[in-house]
Chain A
């Protein structure tokens, strides 16, 4: 695009006043701003000792969990919608015929590679039965790559760990029923 292009509007800058030309007011305002921040309270969270405050755990995108229904069974119906939606291709499901009468399939194995996951939340969006959810657990660590591939048991145990702090459909936390 050339500078003469009619679609460019060149704005006239405000001419500088005397004070601005003398630099001093700008110098003082710059220094006072930095000096104020120098002594103002810090926002850093000293992590291992201090936990960061997660605003609303329902919309935080941390480690996954697989929800259980009232009977304590895995909620997932192995429809593969999450695996299809996942942009990182990190969900691996093996479906098999369900032993229960209320659905046709259930996941025999359900693996998420947490190292590959980009925590986008697409799986949670896609799930028709709200079986997969992202919790507010944020310090995800492991000693090996294998350890970071979470299987069904692990994901269900994450649910057991977090179900009280962040219930799946909680109106109190601003969720919808």
Chain B
């Protein structure tokens, strides 16, 4: 090996980064097309189906649309309004995109590759940019919090009421939903005993029980919270067009807007990745992928395909939900986070912690099969009880009658008196 080349691990990491970023950007472009198709189909339209290969008449069901969309938005004028804070205004889209891309360093995008002796790779090569990172989950969390800064900076630097309101709403929403998100995730981390996402997947593959079945409550809490974190409908208040024009990116145009939009899409992709990896078994599918180490290329490819298919399925679900439910009102959103999701997440965490703590005793007392069954059924009981309790106890928050106050500063009231 020539000494001019960097060390092998560096090359491998760079190749992986290239694959991942290229794959993600292409995927984001095509997911925008899929999203437009879904939107059209749900509204009984046909959607983009004309743009095919450029300069020919080949249409290919509109598969050339992402190229056209991308070119259009890149070639648009990148206008910076006079009244913005120039530095922060420029930094915001970069921060948000960098953070959303860096998240993927810790997210596995497949199982692993079998050894490739020809290239000097003697061990299994995990499909993960930073395989040595022991705190994958924390990394994901920390960076998704940094992405909030992008939104905040954008809203603040725009110096625009709508942008500011959007930024404020967004920060309140993301801060509120980070807690249920973390609680849902803690359950999984407790059960798997690791903060590494590939270990979490392996744990599900080994036991054959996906955490969505073992921790239904945690799954629901995490699902709802990740919709909110990705600011997707029904929680898209940061950019509710009808109320806020465009929310925090009202003042952005051209390529900066593109960066925001891509970052937003990546949030959804991240959420889908996390949901699949932590709750839906990752690359595992009963009877198809097997478990344990990867020996052949076939297994590696099958696992990659299963993971991708699951992620696509979750993304399609995200897109379908967008047209199924109306947007929450802001107080309802906050009610849901603090009064419903937080207690439910805690209940899930306590259940999981208890089960994991007493699993040895349970198995010893009831035998292996019975002990496992109890450990599996108990969370479901908690799930139904918790859900019904949440439904019965939470204020529904649908009353729109204004509350009449009689305070000393209530000018309206005094005018009405005189």
Bound-state Cα–Cα, A10 to B396, Å: 18
Closest residue of chain B to A15 (Cβ to Cβ) is: B396
Contacting residue for B388 out of A22, A31, A38, CB 8 A: A22
Q: Is A55 interfacial (CB-CB < 8 Å)? A: no
Q: Which residues of A contact B399 (CB under 8 A)?
A: 13
* Contact yes or no, A3 B44, CB < 8 A: no
Q: Which residues of A contact B402 (CB under 8 A)?
A: 3
* Contact yes or no, B404 A18, CB < 8 A: no
Q: Which residues of A contact B321 (CB under 8 A)?
A: 31
* Contact yes or no, A23 B44, CB < 8 A: no
Comparing A41-49, A116-124, A135-143, A150-158, the segment that makes contact with chain B is: A41-49
Query: Within A15-38, which residues are at the interface with B (CB < 8 Å)?
Result: 15-16, 18, 21-23, 26-27, 30-31, 33-35, 37-38
* Contact yes or no, B38 A21, CB < 8 A: no
Hey, what's the 0/1 contact readout for B297-327 against A, CB within 8 Å counting as 1?
0000000000000000000000011011100
Q: Which residues of A contact B412 (CB under 8 A)?
A: 2
* Contact yes or no, A23 B391, CB < 8 A: yes
Q: Which residues of B contact A18 (CB under 8 A)?
A: 388, 391-392
* Contact yes or no, A38 B401, CB < 8 A: no
Q: Is B46 interfacial (CB-CB < 8 Å)? A: yes
Q: Which residues of A contact B38 (CB under 8 A)?
A: 38
B289 to chain A, nearest CB (A): 28
Bound-state Cα–Cα, A35 to B388, Å: 27
A50 to chain B, nearest CB (A): 11
Closest residue of chain B to A32 (Cβ to Cβ) is: B324
User: Provided the pairs A4-B416, A18-B391, A22-B387 are in contact, do residues A37 and B42 lie with their beta carbons within 8 angstroms?
Assistant: yes
* Contact yes or no, A42 B392, CB < 8 A: no
Closest residue of chain A to B401 (Cβ to Cβ) is: A10
Contacting residue for B325 out of A10, A27, A42, CB 8 A: A27
Q: Which residues of A contact B324 (CB under 8 A)?
A: 27, 30-31, 33-34
Q: Which residues of A contact B296 (CB under 8 A)?
A: none
Closest residue of chain A to B321 (Cβ to Cβ) is: A31
How many residues on chain B are close to A (CB under 8 Å)?
26
* Contact yes or no, A37 B43, CB < 8 A: yes
How many residues on chain A are close to B (CB under 8 Å)?
27
B299 to chain A, nearest CB (A): 34
Q: Is A7 interfacial (CB-CB < 8 Å)? A: no
Q: Which residues of B contact A16 (CB under 8 A)?
A: 396, 398
Contacting residue for A42 out of B44, B320, B404, CB 8 A: B44
Q: Summarize A's interface: helix, strand, loop or mixed.
A: loop
Q: Is A40 interfacial (CB-CB < 8 Å)? A: yes
* Contact yes or no, B401 A42, CB < 8 A: no
* Contact yes or no, A38 B391, CB < 8 A: no
Q: Is B45 interfacial (CB-CB < 8 Å)? A: yes
A28 to chain B, nearest CB (A): 10
User: Provided the pairs A21-B391, A22-B388, A22-B391 are in contact, do residues A38 and B42 lie with their beta carbons within 8 angstroms?
Assistant: yes
* Contact yes or no, A3 B41, CB < 8 A: no
Q: Which residues of B contact A34 (CB under 8 A)?
A: 42, 320, 323-324
Bound-state Cα–Cα, A10 to B402, Å: 10
Bound-state Cα–Cα, A27 to B321, Å: 9
Closest residue of chain A to B45 (Cβ to Cβ) is: A44
Query: Within B221-264, which residues are at the interface with A (CB < 8 Å)?
Result: none
A58 to chain B, nearest CB (A): 28
* Contact yes or no, B42 A43, CB < 8 A: no
Contacting residue for B404 out of A4, A15, A38, CB 8 A: A4
Contacting residue for A2 out of B43, B394, B416, CB 8 A: B416
A171 to chain B, nearest CB (A): 35
User: Provided the pairs A2-B416, A13-B399, A22-B388 are in contact, do residues A43 and B45 lie with their beta carbons within 8 angstroms?
Assistant: yes
Closest 5 CB pairs of A and B: A30-B324, A21-B391, A44-B46, A22-B391, A3-B402
If A38-B38, A38-B320, A43-B45 are given as contacts, then 16 extra A-B residue pairs at C-beta distance below 8 Å, sorted by A number, are A2-B412, A10-B401, A16-B396, A16-B398, A18-B391, A21-B394, A21-B396, A22-B387, A23-B391, A31-B324, A33-B324, A34-B42, A38-B42, A42-B44, A42-B46, A44-B44
* 29 cross-chain CB contacts under 8 A: A2-B412, A10-B401, A13-B398, A16-B398, A18-B388, A18-B391, A18-B392, A21-B394, A21-B396, A22-B387, A22-B388, A22-B391, A26-B325, A27-B324, A27-B325, A34-B42, A34-B320, A37-B41, A37-B42, A38-B42, A39-B41, A40-B44, A41-B44, A42-B41, A42-B45, A43-B44, A44-B40, A44-B44, A44-B45
